[in-house]
Chains A and B, each alone.
Chain A
Amino acid sequence: MDDCLSPEAPDADALLLADPLTGLAGPVPSDAELVARCRAGEAAAWSLLVRRYQRLVFTVPRRAGLDSDDAADVFQHTLARLYEHLDRLDDPTRVRAWLVTTARHETLRFLRARARTPRIAEVFESEGEDETEGDAVERVPDPARPHDEVLGELQDLARVRAAIDLLDPRSRQLIELLFLQDDPLPYDEIARRMNMPEGSIGPTRARCLAKIRQCLTKL
């Protein structure tokens, strides 16, 4: 059995089984498959694609210092451009990189249009204190460059979160309690919240990480 599945999965072929909103999981469609299904007019495939990459697309402008409202504008324009270009994507397997590139371009366009000095998030912070918009724009890295660590890392992180979204709800809850808290929780607290013996956390943690690793091979 494919470990990247939820026990709720009633239909191995159902596309929506991986929708994090439903909490159901199933075979994981690749990006290329989702793009193909979008091209065929399947709204559910578009929904999965948007949900899979919403954090990544939103985080790019946030990392460039845009506030939440402005980042939401960039997010909407980026997704609108993806929708417009669905039929023209040369390589649908690289939709994640395409989204990062487009989100960055939309961010730069927004910064230039607003002609104001953005607040620079930590990733783009430089040693200099006197910021100009030009400096800020220059320091938003170009994802087309081979050594772009910042946006490359964001893509890796988004891939991991997409894999976590595919887990069954209980596994996802354990992963969130173990790794996604600002302040680490002690095992006895996690055991209490999960209603499981403290001694089971370690082995369950290992199984959940194995599931995530398996999901990652498909994303």
Chain B
Amino acid sequence: MPVTLLHPPAMNPNDDTDDALAGLIHRSRRLEDAPEAAIQHALALFQRAPVSAKAAAAGWRELVARLVSDTFDMSPQALGLRGGKAETRQLLFAVEGRDIDVRLSRGDGGWELWGQILGPDEAGEAELHCGEWQASTPWTPLAEFRFRDVPTGECRLTLRTGAWISTLPAFRIPA
């Protein structure tokens, strides 16, 4: 079936007239930027290579996680919140039929990360990397986990059970 074009064919970007190039630039507004979270996930593919190798060696299935929402992207007004003493941030990820709820809160002792896997999995482990710092902890029977005194900077959370492993898109904890 022929493609119906509403726009004329592309001008040659090597056209040596300024007007032609200007027209092409103007038309490039039609390109859309990918969401930054998706870009970060793609960039993380390179850093995740060791995890993938580890997963393959262990016979785990590697699941792709997607960031669904991040309250850090919303203004307090949008969230209907008033300014308070505690800073909190909620991130929600989706991993093949599971929702991963991650909450960051800053208290007197620094940042704390709490998370919960909402899905069919009963037991597993969470591993958090923030720069050189790393820690791991098993999930509770409610599939919850918690890390205290988390340093600032870019962090990456990996979840694994006996059957699968998933590294969530990186997120940044502000200073």
Contacts and interface: CB of A to CB of B under 8 A. Distances in A.
Contact of B16 (A73, A80, A213): A213
Contact of B43 (A50, A122, A154, A156): A50
Interface string B59-92: 0000010101000000000000000000000000
Contacts of A80: 42, 45, 64
Interface in A175-219: 175, 178-180, 182, 205-206, 209, 212-213, 216-217
B16 A149 contact: no
A43 B40 CA distance: 13
B160 to A, nearest CB: 19
Given A125-B6, A160-B13, A213-B21, A76 B42 contact: yes
B27 interface: yes
Contacts of B30: 59, 157
Given A149-B3, A164-B25, A180-B25, A156 B47 contact: no
Given A149-B5, A206-B18, A209-B21, A161 B42 contact: no
B9 interface: yes
A55 interface: yes
Interface in B4-54: 4-7, 9-14, 16, 18, 21-22, 24-35, 37-39, 41-43, 45-47
Given A179-B26, A216-B13, A75 B3 contact: no
Contact of B10 (A50, A54, A152, A206): A152
B32 to A, nearest CB: 5
B1 interface: yes
Contacts of B27: 153, 157
A156 B24 contact: yes
A212 to B, nearest CB: 7
B25 A58 contact: no
Given A54-B33, A124-B3, A150-B3, A83 B28 contact: no
A46 B3 CA distance: 33
17 contacts: A43-B43, A51-B39, A75-B34, A75-B42, A80-B45, A124-B4, A125-B6, A126-B1, A152-B9, A156-B11, A156-B24, A157-B30, A160-B21, A179-B25, A180-B26, A182-B29, A216-B14
Given A69-B68, A123-B7, 17 more contacts: A54-B42, A59-B32, A75-B38, A83-B42, A123-B5, A124-B3, A141-B3, A149-B10, A150-B3, A153-B27, A154-B31, A156-B10, A157-B24, A160-B13, A180-B25, A213-B14, A213-B21
